[in-house]
Chains A and B, each alone.
Chain A
């Protein structure tokens, strides 16, 4: 399952701003653009990873998918239907299809409710089952996540963190959803139980044919679970690639730096790694340019080209399913030439657009625009 099939979920130029009343916005108060023109598409049955450091907007993306937040612009389509304006019964129906696993299992379970009541919620809310039938289903859920049905009458504080997260997963599964958004589901857990929960998620994903959007700052966990990965930085997509492509030939300087921060056990890999200077909030990115420019190692090596500050790099396709939002991502191959854009044109231009949904770009107007400017520079 490498993302072949029609998209189950599409994010179409999604934007989310925080802060600032309309009055403050007039006065130019600092409005945070947590998610900035994100376009992604996720196929049914796929495990899709979203990676980024804190502040990258990855959690906001997840919360918008499950409708805990509404985007300020753009559309989120589930099976072709825009879900950002659903209300009432339609929203309730959507909630049956899409569920969430939360980051901190100590906060996501109500300490005053028994596990049984929490798991029965779904059946009561959606009138899926009642009485003995519901009891049976709840017991089955517990076994599905590796817990015993005798634990149903316990309160959350009687469980370990790993068990709690299993309960969180069971709750998400209770409505039999098609898509699960897992927002850092293991980062609050002990390292010793992280692997168990990741294995559980992967097993469930394969067994139930679930589509999983896995949000994490941990590239290892993401590459363990996901077949495709999107890298987010300051609310923008830097790179989208199949797992293998990302691991073997990450194109974006930011992704490369992330990869470098990942300890490797491969013999001879040594400790040559890119170091990201500064913090995500340190430097104000240039308006209109590339958000990563102030911290970009590649840009430094290329002699700080102005283009990074004046023109936003839109995602362009390097190879099938591999898109990168960088003007010079493939310039490194020919370090002597100063990032000649011909190669860019060859890579993305003439190739007939394969299934655009896979690439993660669904707005055709923007891709050629970038390529053409690239060709004329």
Chain B
């Protein structure tokens, strides 16, 4: 693919991709390779500092921080990916329907979106968690729904602009309409923007998962996620600051990697950049 090659040519994006691959590999393979049980309690080794037995020390219950971090990465990345995906699916669907159909569907859809816009994203998510009770599934649902309005508005705007392009007129004159027109001319036109936006959502979702976890509204103990670990470590922040700092650093690293990729994608998909390549 052209875009991937162009992305790889951007140095910062390359760093992001390498980081992301590392993180993903850790999340997928790590739990299988690590010998320790992330939930194994060892009261004799509470708040232990880094050692050969516990690379990153232990928490208040003597659980191995590194093992929990790796297991938690799986949970955090999984939640982030699924909520970004859910937000994308809902946002694109709503945006395409309102933007393409126009008329009263558009007006009604956008008023609902405006309503959601009045409330901060995280507050929407908290509200949904409050309705269904905290769990990993609820976190995904809550974040996915909370991201939908912004995404829908973005997609709607793009669809409205693509819809008025001359090549869409040309297809209409040929007799294309409805689903065919969407498939051939309109959806391909929103792919670049959707790619960038979904990448950005991944970053938001990682932070928001941590925030929900910090508030105790995310993944519930004893399961580990980065947010849940930050929350658990908070009480001991003066005795054992690494318990919050290490998962916090993991979140920063993951978000950093995703933002690098997002910025790179934006450049790689820039129509002016592709025009330059196309013209030569």
- Using CB atoms and an 8 Å cutoff, list the residues of chain A in contact with chain B: 66-68, 92, 95-96, 99-100, 102, 104, 107-113, 117, 121-122, 124-126, 155, 157-158, 168, 171, 174-175
The answer for the CA separation of A112 and B167 in the assembled complex, in Å, is 11
Give which listed residue, A109, A117, A122, A155, contacts B174 with CB less than 8 A.
A122
Residues in A with CB closer than 8 Å to B185 are: 110, 113
CB distance from B164 to the nearest CB of A (A): 11
Contact B172 A68 (CB under 8 A): yes
| Residues on the B chain within 8 Å of A66, using CB | 173
- Residue contact B166 to A107, C-beta cutoff 8 Å: yes
Residues 150-178 of B, flagged 1 when their CB comes within 8 A of A and 0 if not, give 00000000000000011101111111100
| Given known A104-B166, A157-B275, contact A68–B173 (CB-CB < 8 A) | yes
Cα of A92 to Cα of B178 in the assembled complex, Å: 13
Look across to chain A and name the residue whose beta carbon is closest to the beta carbon of B165: A107
Residues of B within 8 A of A174 (CB): 174
CB contact under 8 A between A68 and B175, given known A113-B184, A157-B278: no
**What chain A residues lie within 8 Å of B189 (beta carbons)?**
112
B279 to chain A, nearest CB (A): 7
B1 CB, nearest partner CB in chain A, Å:
13
Determine if A125 and B176 form an interchain contact, defined as CB atoms under 8 angstroms apart. Answer: yes
Is residue B111 contacting chain A, with contact meaning CB distance below 8 A? Answer: no
Residues of B within 8 A of A (CB): 165-167, 169-176, 180, 184-185, 188-189, 275, 278-279
Picked from B174, B275, B279, the residue with its CB within 8 Å of the CB of A171 is B174
CB distance from B274 to the nearest CB of A (A): 8
| Cα–Cα, bound, A92→B180 (Å) | 14
- Considering the chains assembled together, what is the distance between the CA atoms of A104 and B278 in angstroms? 18
User: In the complex, are the beta carbons of A171 and B175 less than 8 A apart?
Assistant: no
Distance A112 CA – B174 CA, assembled complex (angstroms)? 18
> B279: which A residues are within 8 A, CB to CB?
157
Docked-complex contact A102 and B174, CB < 8 angstroms: no
Q: A175–B278 contact, CB under 8 A?
A: no
Residues on the A chain within 8 Å of B188, using CB: 110, 112-113
Bound complex: CA A95 to CA B169 (Å): 12
In the complex, the chain A residue whose C-beta lies closest to that of B180 is A125
Q: Which 9 A-B pairs have the closest CB atoms?
A: A157-B278, A107-B166, A95-B175, A110-B167, A125-B175, A108-B166, A112-B188, A100-B173, A108-B170
A86 to chain B, nearest CB (A): 12
A160 to B50, CA, bound (A): 66
Residues of B contacting A68 in the complex (Cβ-Cβ under 8 angstroms): 169, 172-173
Contact A121 B167 (CB under 8 A): no
Bound Cα distance from A108 to B170, whole angstroms:
6
Contact of B175 with A92 in the complex, beta carbons under 8 Å: yes
**B169 contacts A102, C-beta separation under 8 Å:** yes
Q: Give the residue name and chain of the B residue nearest to A63 (CB).
A: B169
Distance in angstroms from B32 CB to nearest chain A CB is 41
Given contacts A95-B175, A125-B176, contact A102 B184 (CB under 8 A): no
Q: Please tell me if the beta carbons of A95 and B184 are within 8 angstroms of each other in the complex.
A: no
Given contacts A157-B275, A158-B278, whether A109 and B176 have CB atoms under 8 Å apart is: no
For this complex, 21 residue pairs linking A to B, each with C-beta atoms less than 8 Å apart, are: A68-B169, A68-B173, A96-B175, A99-B173, A99-B174, A102-B169, A102-B170, A110-B188, A111-B278, A112-B188, A113-B188, A121-B171, A121-B176, A122-B175, A124-B180, A125-B176, A126-B175, A155-B278, A158-B278, A174-B174, A175-B174
Complex Cα–Cα for A327 and B169 (A)? 40
Residues in chain B near residue A121, CB distance under 8 A: 171, 174, 176, 184
| A171 / chain B contacts, CB cutoff of 8 Å | 170, 174
The residues of B that contact A155 with a CB separation of less than 8 Å are: 278
Tell me the minimal C-beta distance from A20 to chain B in angstroms. Answer: 18
How far in angstroms is the closest Cβ of chain B from A133? 18
Residue of A nearest to B192 (CB): A112
Which residues of chain A have C-beta atoms less than 8 A from B278's C-beta?
Answer: 111, 155, 157-158
Q: B184 contacts which chain A residues (CB < 8 A)?
A: 110, 113, 117, 121
